[in-house]
Amino acid sequence: MTLTVATVNVNGIRAAAKQRSETNLGILPWLENTSADVVLLQEVRANEKQTEAALAPALEAGWHLVQAEAAAKGRAGVGILSRLPLTHVATGFSHAEEQAGLTASPGAREFDDSGRYIEARVNTHFGPVTVASLYLPSGAANSEKQDEKYRFLDSFGHFMQQRAACTVDGQPENMIIGGDWNICHRRADLKNWRTNRTKSGFLPDERAFMDSILGSWPDESTQVGDETDAGRTGNPAGRAGDFYGAVDYSPTPLAQQRLREGASENPQWFDVVRRLNPEADGPYSWWTYRGQAFDTDAGWRIDLHVATEGMLERARVANNAWVDRAEAYDLRWSDHSPVIVEYA
């Protein structure tokens, strides 16, 4: 038996649920046919009533739904669909910390009603598993959105450090944080990395944040600022610590500590798909609708399963992870494709 988990940014659940053509029937047939037991949703962009209406056939078929909508209407929003009952639901990572008996991370309250984090627990044949849906801010260099993203990284990094030490029923917590992380950690995660070095999603301090959580594996040391990264003329976004693209952001003590410590040498969280595919380019999960990006596979790998060691080992046993990529451009119901992992 396995627990199969999918994560997907739906780019608006109401749009994703619509039939777009005779051959593109939207997310509902996908939900009917997927092997996933749990589907982690991002960018839902709807309130609970609207989401329930859009997903009514799936809910009638037995899927359970919880969601965290954003205070700003039509923005962000995350949810969890599950064939298994959901318990211990917490919206916002500060509330999740409190539910786990932890003190809320500095700055976390800012994001309580932003629709960017929800978690719940499912009971499996190998015990309880916490599944979380994350929609990390996309940012935009040289705008306040980038400041928001840097603040989020500071708080969420602290949350992950705290959460890694949590236990459930006296055992280390089994946990998966799936979602749209909006950061490519390594060059293999982005097809056209050279031309995107000044774009949010591949900035030095964003990638250094991922180093602090995941370590530099499979590289011996960080790619941020290495010879390839710099090229002949240097990285146009500078180096980690420059916080390229910020407008009014000042590095917090948490950011300063992260920079001092560098890439984690003993990570407690693991990028599951990369661990199963250490040498692969991609597999990409997002392609812009513009141009021929989907047809030429000019994608970004930003939709991740980040899991605790126990869940990584279960993924290794199952050894089955994939991007459920549409067969053609006009069959897509989102600009992201589901990323699916089996845990045995």
Reported as a single tens digit per residue, the pLDDT across 273-298 is 999 999 999 999 999 998 899 999 99
pTM for the complete prediction?
0.98
Q: Is there a catalytic annotation at residue 336?
A: yes
Q: Is there a catalytic annotation at residue 284?
A: no
Distance separating alpha carbons of residues 256 and 156, to the nearest angstrom: 15
Distance separating alpha carbons of residues 206 and 148, to the nearest angstrom: 12
Question: Annotated catalytic residue: which of 37, 95, 117, 135?
Answer: 135
29 by DSSP, 3-state: which?
A: helix
70 by DSSP, 3-state: which?
A: coil
pLDDT of residue 146: 98
- Residue 113 labeled ligand binder: no
- Residue 9 labeled ligand binder: yes
Question: Annotated catalytic residue: which of 37, 180, 205, 229?
Answer: 180
DSSP codes of every residue in 195-240: GGTTSTTS-HHHHHHHHHHH-STTSSS--TTSHHHHTTT--TT--T
Distance separating alpha carbons of residues 92 and 183, to the nearest angstrom: 20
- Residue 144 labeled ligand binder: no
- Residue 220 labeled ligand binder: no
Q: What is the CATH number of domain 3-343?
A: 3.60.10.10
Question: Annotated catalytic residue: which of 158, 185, 305, 336?
Answer: 336
- Residue 95 labeled ligand binder: no
Peptide bond before 128: cis, by omega within 30 degrees of 0?
no
Which regions of the chain are under pLDDT 70?
A: none
- Residue 305 labeled ligand binder: no
Q: How is the chain split into domains, by residue range?
A: 3-343
Distance separating alpha carbons of residues 77 and 70, to the nearest angstrom: 5
Among candidates 267, 281, 283, 268, which has minimal Cα distance to 340?
A: 283
Query: CA–CA distance from 121 to each of 19, 84, 124, 180 (Å)?
Result: 32, 9, 10, 20
Tens of pLDDT, residue by residue over 105-122, are 999 999 999 999 999 999
pLDDT of residue 58: 98
Q: E strands of 13-54, at which residues?
A: 38-42
Tens of pLDDT, residue by residue over 127-168, are 999 999 999 999 999 999 999 999 999 999 999 999 999 999
